[in-house]
Amino acid sequence: MKFKQVKRFLALGVIAAMIISAAGCGNATNTADTSAVQESTDGTDAQEPAAEKTEITVAKDAETAPTVNGLDDELCSWTTGGTDASAKGGDDYSFTPVIYINEGAYDAEKSVAGETEAVTDTETSNLALTVEKEAVNGIMVNQSDYTISDSVITIAAADADGSATCDFSGLGAAIAVYGDSDLTVKNTEINADGVANLALFTDSGASALLDSVTLHSDGGTLYENYVNSPDQTTMVAPPWILGIMGTSRGTNLEGDDSTMTVIDSDTSASNWAVLSTDAGSNMYLNVVNTDMTLTGTDDPMQADGAFDTENPYTKRTGYGTYAIGDAQETFLGTRMNVGTYATIFTGGTGYYGNLKAGESYDLKAADGSTHYTYTAESDEQTVINSDTFGFMAHQGTNEVTIDGAVVNSEYTDFLIKSGNDTTINVQNGAQLHAGNGILLQLMDNDDSTTDFDAENMAFGKIHEEYEGFPTEAVSVEAEESDDAGLRDVLVGGGQEADLEAPADAENAAEGENAPDGEGGPDGEGGPEGGMMPAATGPNYSTYNVTDTDLTGSIYNGIGWKANDLSDGKVRQMYLDVNLSGTSTLNGAIASTSVIHATYDGEQYLKENGITAFDNDEEAAAFAQQYQNTSFSQAEYFDIGQVANLVKSNGLNDINVTLADSAVWTVSDTSLIKSLSISGDAQVVVEDSVTLTVDGTAYEAGTYTAADFQ
C-alpha cells in the first residue's frame, strides 16, 4: 500500500499553547505557555524538529455560548431537528465554533478562539485544536474556499451521550463545511470522541477533499432510556432493524449536490459507520487508495444496558458506507474492513474497482465537474472484508458494480430485501467469497414483520414470525396498512429511517457503469421518504455476471406471509440472473421459502455446507431446533440471518440467461421460472442434482441452446 503516512502532530515539535478558559462571542481569555517535545512516532528521538504548532484547547468547563444559528443563517439542509432548548437534545442548530470561516473571512467575533495568528481568511496550518466541551464545534466553514493542513483537530468529549450533539446538523463535529464551499484538508489528523460527534460533516452543496488524512470517530455511550428510532429529530444511533448498532459515524455527507473525495488516507470509526451519506440527494463520494475500518469498542452501547447482549457475529457492528438519495459512490483501490456490511443501499449507486499504476482517474463532483484527478503510483485492488454480510439493499433503485474487486464476507455476500429494485454487476474477474456459500439472498424486509410504535416513532422492540417455513404467499391485493399513513412524517427522510418508496418497475436499474479513468458511475434512484408503507411491488432485480468465475448459490425468498404484520408490506420480487462472456457459476439458483435462524442455526448450516433444504421433513426438523421465531432489539444482529427451503410461491420467480461461452454448473437443487441459452453457453447438471425450469425437471447432463429453443 502506498499512501502518505500522517504524523501525530501532538507528539512532535515545539508547541505554543493557548488554553481557552472562558469564551463568549470571541471574548476569550488566552494563557500562553511553551514547552519543547521532540519525539518521533515510534518513540525514538526525532531526527528533525517539526514546525511549531499552535495549540488551542477548549476545556470541558469552559464558559461558552452559541454564536451561529444554523437555521437563521441557512447553513443546514436538514431543518427538522429539535430547536427547543428545554427538550432532550436541545437546539440542534445553535453552534459554538472555535474557528468560524464565513463568506470568505475568519469571523473572530463568532469564534471561541478570538483573534489569533494561527487562522487566516483562507487557511489554517500547523494547528493543534482540542475541544473537550460537549456540543462545541472545532472548525466551521460556510460559503468559503478554505484549506486546513498539517494539523490535528480533536473533539475529546468522551462523555457526550447524544443528548446535546447532532450528526444531522453537524453540531459537535470536528470539522463542518456548508454551502458553496470548497474545503481541502491535507496532512491532518482528525479525531472525534463522544456520541454523534463527527470527524467531518459536509452539507448543503459543499465539497470536501481529504488528502493524506487520518480520521477516526470513537463514539461513546448513549444516554439512559434512549428510544431507538428512525425519527431524525432524536436519532443518534441506527434503528436496530438495520441489523447494526453503534454511536459513531466518521463522516456524514448531506444535502443536495454535496461532494466528498478521500484520497491516500486512513479512515475509521468504532461502530455504526465509517463514511456515511444521509438526508440529501445527488451526493458524490469518492474514496481512492484509502483504508476504511470499523474498529469496535469496549464502551457500553447505552447507559441502561438496552444493548448489552453480545453480538456473536462481530465485535465491530456497522457499515463502511451508506448510499441514499441517488448518492454516487466510487471506490478505487480501497481497503475496507467492516463488521456487518460494506455498503447499505437505499437508493444509490456504488462502483468498486481497482487502480492501475500510471493511470489517471477523474473523480467527479456532484455538479458533473472533475473534483480531483488522481494518478495511481501503483496497482491497488479494492478489497472488502466483512465479518457478516457483504452488501444490503432495502429501498429505492440501486446499482452496484463489482469490477475486478475482491469481496470476502463470512456470510451472504449480498442481501436484497423486498421493496427495492437493484442491479448488481459482477465483472472482469471479480472475486466473491461468501462464507456460507450464498452469493445473493433475496428476502422479505425484516421491517415488514416488525411492528411500529407510532406514538413513540419507533420500531417495535420484538421481531416475531410463525413457526416453520412459510407455505402461504402474501396476497398482492392486500389493502394498505395503517402504517402507510406515516409516510408523510419524515418527508425527505434520512438513511436510517428505513423508508420505502413505491417502486416504478419501468425505471428499474439496468446496465453497467464503470469509470475508465474518467470518474465514477452515473445512476438514478432514491426513496421519497416515509415510513413502512404498504405494498410496494412488484420489484425487479438483476444479477449480471460478465467474464467472472463464481462459486456459490443464489436464492429468491421474497413474498412469503411470515405473520399477520406483513400484510400489505411485502410484495413480489422478480430476479433475472444473466451470465455472459467467459463467466462460470458453480452453485444453485432457486426460489425459496425463508425463516430467520439463530446463530447456532447459522453455524450448523455453514459447518454442514447447507445453503438450502430441498426436503420438507429435513427443513421442518431444522426449523424446530434453530428457527428464530422471536428476538428483541438487543439481538439486532439476527436481522438478515435466514435459512432457505427450495419452494416457489409464484411471487419469487427467477429467470436465467446464459450467453457467449458462459457455463452454469448446477451443483445443488435449483428451481427457476425460465432458462435461455445462446451461443456456446452450457448448463451442466451434476449427478444426483435436479434443475426444475417452469415445472419441467432436468436430471444430470449437459444442456445447450438446442435444448431450450
DSSP state of 47: S
Alpha-carbon gap, residue 355 to 173, rounded angstroms: 32
| C-alpha closest to that of 164 among 239, 252, 64, 260 | 64
- The answer for residues whose C-beta is within 8 angstroms of residue 462's C-beta and 6 or more apart is 450, 451, 630, 631, 632, 633
Q: What is the mean pLDDT of each run of 10 residues along the chain (709 residues)?
A: 33 37 28 26 48 94 97 94 72 96 98 96 98 98 98 97 95 98 98 97 98 98 92 90 96 98 98 96 98 96 96 98 97 98 98 98 98 98 98 96 98 96 98 98 87 80 93 70 32 34 30 34 29 63 98 96 75 95 98 98 98 98 97 96 97 98 98 98 98 97 91
Q: Which set of grid coordinates corresponds to residue 142?
A: 460556510
Alpha-carbon gap, residue 219 to 269, rounded angstroms: 8
Query: Does the CA dihedral 251-298-300-499 come out positive or negative?
Result: positive
Edge-to-edge strands, sheet with 701-703:
549-551, 584-586, 663-666, 682-685, 701-703
Whether 151 and 183 have beta carbons less than 8 Å apart is answered as no
Tally helices (H) and strands (E) across the chain. Answer: 2, 53
Q: Which set of grid coordinates corresponds to residue 375?
A: 494518478
- Quickly tell me which residue has 444559528 as its cell: 69
- Quickly tell me which residue has 454564536 as its cell: 67
Q: What is the pLDDT of residues 127-184, one digit of tens each?
A: 999 999 999 999 999 999 999 999 999 999 999 999 999 999 999 999 999 999 999 9
- The answer for residues whose C-beta is within 8 angstroms of residue 580's C-beta and 6 or more apart is 544, 545, 546, 547, 658, 659, 660, 662
Burial class (CB in 10 A: 0-12, 13-18, 19+), 225: exposed
Alpha-carbon gap, residue 430 to 404, rounded angstroms: 4
Diameter of the chain measured on Cα atoms: 86
Edge-to-edge strands, sheet with 458-464:
450-453, 458-464, 630-632
Whether 112 and 98 have beta carbons less than 8 Å apart is answered as yes
Number of C-beta neighbours around residue 687 at 10 A? 7
Q: Identify the pLDDT of residue 457.
A: 79
Q: Identify the pLDDT of residue 566.
A: 72
Q: Which set of grid coordinates corresponds to residue 249?
A: 459515524
Q: Which set of grid coordinates corresponds to residue 382?
A: 479494492
Q: Identify the pLDDT of residue 164.
A: 93
Looking at residue 515, its amino acid is P
Q: Identify the pLDDT of residue 536.
A: 57
Pairing of strands 584-586, 549-551: parallel
